[in-house]
Structure 1
Amino acid sequence: MDKTPKELFQEKRGITVVKNLENRHFEAYYCPTEEEALQKVLELIPEESSVSWGGSMTIRDMGLTDALNRGNYRTIDRDKAENEEEKKKAYRDAMSAEYYLTSANGISEDGQLVNVDGTGNRVAAIVYGPEYVIVVAGMNKVAKTADDALVRARTIAAPTNQQRFQRKTPCTVTGACGDCISPDCICNQVLITRNCSPAGRIKVVLVGEELGY
C-alpha cells in the first residue's frame, strides 16, 4: 500500500530528528506505527531486567506496560500500589531500575528532549539513576526548536494532563496555561536534555502516529 502524504512527511521528518538525536549521543529509532514501536522497545529490554516507568499515557495506551507486566521482566509498577506508602516506595525503587520508560513533553527538531514535571520523579530518572532510559514519543511531540517544545509542554501537554487529574489550577478550568504557582501545579520542574551522557544511556523511539499528550 502506498504511503499517504502525511505518512511520508512524518517519516522524513522523523528520520531527520533521529539523525539529530544520534548527533547528540542518544540511541534513536523511527517506527511508523505504535505496534512496531512496541516491538522495538521490547527488543531493547533484555528479559529478566528490572523495569519501571513514569506516568506516561503514551506507553500505557500502546499496551507497553501491560506487555511488560505479562512478560519475563521484574516490573516496578506504581499503578499496583495499594496505598500511598507503597506508591512512594515504587517511586524510590524506580530510580534503581535497569530500564526506565517514559515519553517526552516535547522534542526539538535538532534533537533536544524537553520535559515538564510536577513531583519531579520522571525528570529525576531521566537525569540520573536508572541504568537506561527509553523515551517513546509520537511525532505530535516534535516541535521546531527547544523553545517551541517547552511552549508545547506548558500550553498543550500540561493543560491536557490536568483534565485527567482535575486539580486546582487555572488550566484545569480554562484549558490554557495561567503560569500558576498553585500547590497543584504540574509544571514545577523543567528539564531540557541537550545531549545524552553517557552516550546511548537514553534511547528514543519516535513513532509516526499521534500518541499521548
Structure 2
Amino acid sequence: MDAHIRKNREQQVARTIKALQQNNIMATFVPSSDKVPSMVASLLAKGEAVAVGGSVSLKETGVLDLLRNGTYDFHDRYAKGLTSEQIREVFLDSFRVDTYFASANALTEHGEIYCVDGTSNRTAAMLYGPKQVILITSWDKIVPDLASAIVRVKTTAAPANAIRLGVDSFCNKNGKCLSPTCTTNNLMAVGAGICEHTICSNYVVFSHQMIKDRIKVLIVGESIGY
C-alpha cells in the first residue's frame, strides 16, 4: 500500500479508536494479521473458557487455531461431528464463557459497532453473558456513520456471507440487497416478507457501554473478513 494512503487510513483508525474508547470500548490497532494471535493471547488467561461467533476474520487471523491449540477450554462450534442440537448447546454455553470472540459488520467513526445477524447467537453473546468480548475487525469495516454502516452490510457483508453460507437470498444471487440504500422506509430491513430467505433478521448497534472495556476491538490494518 502507498505510504500516504496508509497514513490516511491510520488517521481514520485513530479517530475511530478515540471514539470507541469514549464509549467505554477498548480499541487497539494491530498493523498486520500475523500479530493478532499474540495480541489475543495477552488478553487471555490459561485455562479460561472461550467461545466464538461465526467469523471469517477469526479464521484468517489465526485466532481459531490459537484457541484450538492453546491452553483454553474452547467451546468449538466448528468441531467435527456435532449435531444441530449439540451446536445449539455450544451457543447456549457461550453465554457463560470468560471470553467470547467475534467480528463486527461495521465500525463507525462515531464510536459505534454495528452488527446484523440471522440466528443471532453472535449478537446475543456480545450483548450479555461473557465476561469479555473480543472483536477482530479489519480497518476496511470503518465507515463514517451508521447510515454508511447499513449500506456496507447491504452491499458487501450480507451478500458475501449469504454466498458463504449457501443461503438462497436475493443478495446471494444479485450481489446486493433488495434495498441497498438507506431510506425512511428501509433504513435497515427490507419491506415485510420481501426477502423470504434473508440472513438479516436482527440489527444491533453497540454504543456507550455500561461495563468499561468489556468489549475490546482489535482493528487490523489489512483486508480480512467481510
Q: TM-score scaled by structure 1?
A: 0.94
Query: CA contact under 8 A between 1:50 and 1:99: conserved in structure 2?
Result: yes
2:210 is the counterpart of 1:211: no
Q: Which residue of structure 2 aligns with residue 5 of structure 1? A: 4
Q: Write the mapping of 1:167-178 to structure 2, written as runs, cut at 5 A.
A: 167-178=167-178
In the other structure, the counterpart of 2:205 is 192
User: What SS does the corresponding residue of 2:64 show, helix, strand or coil?
Assistant: helix
Does the aligned pair in 2 maintain the 1:11–1:32 contact within 8 Å? no
CA distance, structure 2, for counterparts of residue 154 and residue 41 of structure 1: 30
1:87 aligns with 2:87: yes
Matched, 1:33 2:25: no
Distance in structure 2 (CA, Å) of the matches to 1:74 and 1:161 = 28
Q: Could you tell me how far apart the structure 2 residues matched to 1:3 and 1:50 are? A: 41
On the 8 A contact 2:167/2:199 being kept in 1, the answer is: no
Matched residues in 2 for 1:55 and 1:86: separation?
Answer: 16
Which amino acid in 2 is paired with 1:68? L
Deviations 1:136-176 (A, max 9, x none): 10000000102211221222101110111121211111111
What residue is the counterpart of 2:104 in the other structure?
104
**Structure 2: 5+ residue runs without aligned partners?**
179-189
Q: Which amino acid aligns with 1:71?
A: G
Q: How many residues align?
A: 212
The 3-state SS of whatever aligns with 2:152 is: helix
Local SS of the residue matching 1:115: strand
Equivalent in the alignment of 1:120: 120
Stretch of structure 1 that moved more, 51-60 or 182-191:
182-191
Distance 2:177 2:107 in 1: 20
**Structure 1 stretch displaced more, 167-176 or 51-60:** 167-176
Q: Deviations over 1:80-138 (max 9, x none)?
A: 15211111111111111110001000000111000000001111011111111001100
SS in 1 for 2:217: strand
Cα separation, 2, equivalents of 1:208 and 1:162: 25
Q: Deviations over 1:34-85 (max 9, x none)?
A: 1222221221111211000100100111111111110000000110152111
Tell me the SS of whatever aligns to 1:44. Answer: coil
Q: In the aligned structure 1, how far is the partner of 2:209 from the partner of 2:220? A: 20
Q: Which residue of 2 aligns with 1:48?
A: 47
Structure-to-structure mapping, 1:150-169, within 5 angstroms: 150-169=150-169
Q: Which amino acid aligns with 2:59?
A: R
CA distance in 1, matches of 2:30, 2:15: 13
* Amino acid in structure 2 at the alignment position of 1:115: C
Identical-residue share of aligned pairs (%): 30
> In the superposition, relative to structure 1, how do residues 212 and 154 fare at CA in structure 2: closer, same or farther (>3 Å)?
same
Q: Matched residues in 2 for 1:200 and 1:39: separation?
A: 19
